[in-house]
Amino acid sequence: MAQNDSGRRTPVMIIGAGPVGLALAGDLGWRGIPSILIEKSDGQVFQPRMDMVGIRTMEFCRRWGIVDDVENAGYNRDYSQDYAWVSQLAGGYEFGRESFPTVRDEPKPAQSPQKRERCPQNFFDPVLTRFAQRSGLAEIRYNTEYVSHEEHANGVTVRLRDIISGDEQVVECQYLVGCDGGASRVKECLGIKMTGTPTLTYTTNAIIECSGLEELHDKKPGYRYIFIGPEGTWSTVVAINGRNWWRFSIVGDGTMRTLSEEDVAKAFQRAVGRDDFEFKIISVMPWIRRQLVADDYGTDRVVIAGDAAHLTSPTGGFGMNMGIQDSVDLGWKLQALVQGWGGPHLMSTYEEERRPVAIRNVNEATNNLKLMLTPRDSLSPAVFEPGVEGDRARQEFGDAYTKMMKREWYTIGIHLGFRYEGSQLIVPDGTPEPEDTVSTYVQTARPGHRAPHAWLEPGKSTLDLFGREFVLLRFDPAQPVDRLVEAASNAGMPLTVVDLDNPEVRELYGCALVLVRPDGHVAWRDERQPQDAGSVIDTVRGARARAYASQATQEVIAS
């Protein structure tokens, strides 16, 4: 029976309390915007589907003040981060290995104040939950499901159902965000379709408890093992906590199959290379690897984010991190709209900015998958033969595979190099667009790009200046900024002017004046303030209609 809770209203309602929904609720609360977060489960994570918190996500965690929480969430930061490709662990061949420092010892790159972290979802979700609850502005409702919504001129009416009691209620919100996964009910109600490849592989994941796994074989420890047999690449083992929990993935093909717990146990014994050891299967989850991006991201009041908007192979670790980027892009725009300084074109720029990034990353992840599975098509049987000829074949294959797989391991360009080229909110400066590369990243303050990192003093980065509001960096105190400040004030747009007397940072940012958005992307730059400052301010806050020059130069490539 529906209970019309017509007196209950919230600025933002979020459906789905996975990492993306939690991050959005937390970011909104950090910005002073209340929200209600709806989750149909009880919040427990039985199958952690992500484990790498990317460098850009860690920069957001730095902004939110939760870096220490991530670092101390539970993963063994002294455990190996090596990747190795083997026939089996005990008594098998190791074809190659890519060695990395431990998480604790891995240095921060010059382009960032942070580095990537290992924090699987069973650790990361609780960190984000505490962050979301910290402001006191996010109400999280578990065991509650979204039923439907009706959008109207001034907001959205959302129908919810308590899973335990069956009672329904209606809540009003200004904006609704579906972060409810690949099978998103919000996306379904919006009638949004997805483009790409619905099935790349059928895969079965098992979470396995196995203490002392390293003592069962003669290989060096590794964060991720890729198992290659006569049939080619067939499974992987990934460290979940760097101690005794492992994610064992049996990678199939395009044929659906159902594996029993006994099948999984035998496959794990095959990978380890022995059957005289104890282990416990905690959970088993079949899933489908997909390459899909939503055809559109919603309306002016109802949008989708995270897996609801893009589904990708985990090869590369892009999926969750893309979703966190979605939430940060949405966070400041929802703040602007709720507070009244966001223009009527602001919400449409969410899709303009984020969908091309999804297409880019989803395609790259599929390419990584194809590289990982290459041995299925090109593996010589000689690599499994003993003796000199076998050694030669293994060396040749291992060297080639190691070189080929580097593209997946080194992806700083994917995580930091995405840009909002052509967005209505960006004022171009006429400079040529730099190459978009995977494994390298050159910082630039060109409009649309992430504002560069530089150390201002020990422990303080330029990135620490950005987040809650627009920031106007002034590298020349002789340059007046009064027209920009007045235009922002007239529009109600929060703007802080920061004077920096630092020639090196000035050279990095390229102009005397640089306007940085709350999400940390450059919106405008020039040597002096414009005569028509109001036009610039109206553009960056979505109040001025501009032709959208789509940056989606590629579509989702069918595999």
Tens of pLDDT, residues 34-48: 999 999 999 988 788
Q: What pLDDT score does 310 carry?
A: 99
The maximal CA–CA distance of the chain, rounded, in angstroms, is 79
The helix/strand/coil state of 97 is strand
Distance CA(419)–CA(436), nearest Å, equals: 9
- SS3 percent helix, strand, coil of the chain, rounded to 5, is 30, 25, 40
For residue 327, give every residue at least 6 positions away whose Cβ sits within 8 Å of its Cβ, in sequence order, or none. Answer: 20, 21, 23, 24, 27, 179, 305, 306
For residue 36, give every residue at least 6 positions away whose Cβ sits within 8 Å of its Cβ, in sequence order, or none. Answer: 10, 12, 13, 14, 138, 139, 141, 171, 173
Portion of the chain with pLDDT greater than 70, in percent = 97
Euclidean distance between the first and the last CA atom of the chain, given in angstroms as a whole number? 47
Torsion, CA 380, CA 384, CA 385, CA 391, rounded to 10 = 80
Of 8-17, 212-221, 549-558, the least confident: 549-558
Of 3-17, 354-368, 415-429, 463-477, the least confident: 3-17
Q: Is the predicted pLDDT of residue 553 greater than 60, yes or no?
A: no
The tokens describing 357, both together, are: 């990034």
Q: Is the predicted pLDDT of residue 218 greater than 60, yes or no?
A: yes
The tokens describing 197, both together, are: 């490849």
Tell which residue, 412, 398, 426, 420, has the closest CA to residue 316.
Answer: 412
Provide the residue type at 235 as one letter: S
Q: Does domain 2-72+112-195+296-365 have CATH number 3.50.50.60?
A: yes
The helix/strand/coil state of 504 is helix
The helix/strand/coil state of 391 is helix
Average per-residue pLDDT in the chain? 96
The tokens describing 549, both together, are: 């020059």
Q: What pLDDT score does 545 carry?
A: 77
Q: Is the predicted pLDDT of residue 558 greater than 90, yes or no?
A: no
Domain segments of the chain: what residues? 2-72+112-195+296-365, 426-540
- The CATH fold assigned to 426-540 is Glutaredoxin (3.40.30)
Distance CA(268)–CA(478), nearest Å, equals: 68
pTM for the full predicted model = 0.96
Q: How confident is the model at residue 385 (pLDDT cuts 50, 70, 90)?
A: very high
The tokens describing 429, both together, are: 């400066």
Mean pLDDT of 46-75: 95
Q: Is the predicted pLDDT of residue 189 greater than 70, yes or no?
A: yes
Q: What pLDDT score does 50 carry?
A: 86
